[in-house]
Amino acid sequence: MIHQYKNNGYNIVLDVNSGSIHVVDDVVYDVLSLMDEENADRYGEAEFSRIADVILKNDYKEEVTKEDLKDVFSDLQELEENGTLFTKDVYKEGVIDFKKRQTVVKALCLHIAHDCNLACRYCFAGEGEYQGDRSLMSYEVGKKALDFLVANSGSRRN
């Protein structure tokens, strides 16, 4: 999968699956926007003719030749062969299984004390009150939290 965007005068193409970032000229940018990513024969003669017709008739009548477009296609094909453009999503199949997995609690952060014994006048927390009542977590709530952690941590230890 690729994402294309323009920013500060740059044409940027990001190949999401490989993490490759390409800064390209206007012609390459437009050719990529016309390419069908799902087409296995994206460098074939039929696809070249289709894209060349659009590019040469519309945007670059005088500036670009068919030879230039053949060079663009060749360069794009080389990038793909090197694994930096139109790469396959190797995680696509695993995502479904990943979502079905049994989840476990790895850590639990408890807010034991809603208080501070320093009571600094400049404190953002209103001298330790944190804009609320000063309080400590009850034994019952703490015990329930730890029971929850043990019950939902699976085979994890420590």
The per-residue pLDDT for range 46-84, each reduced to its tens digit, is 888 888 888 888 767 678 888 999 999 999 999 999 999
CA-based nearest residue to 72, from 54, 48, 88: 48
- How is residue 44 written in tokens? 């074939």
Q: How far is CA 33 from CA 23, 26, 60, 74, 98, in A?
A: 14, 11, 15, 16, 32
- The ranges assigned to domains in the chain are 2-92, 102-152
Whole-prediction pTM value?
0.60
Cβ(54)–Cβ(34) under 8 Å? yes
* C-beta neighbour count of 55 within 10 angstroms: 21
| Sequence-ordered strand ranges (E) for 8-94 | 10-15, 20-24
The per-residue pLDDT for range 87-102, each reduced to its tens digit, is 998 888 777 777 788 8
Partner residues linked to 7 by β-bridges = 10
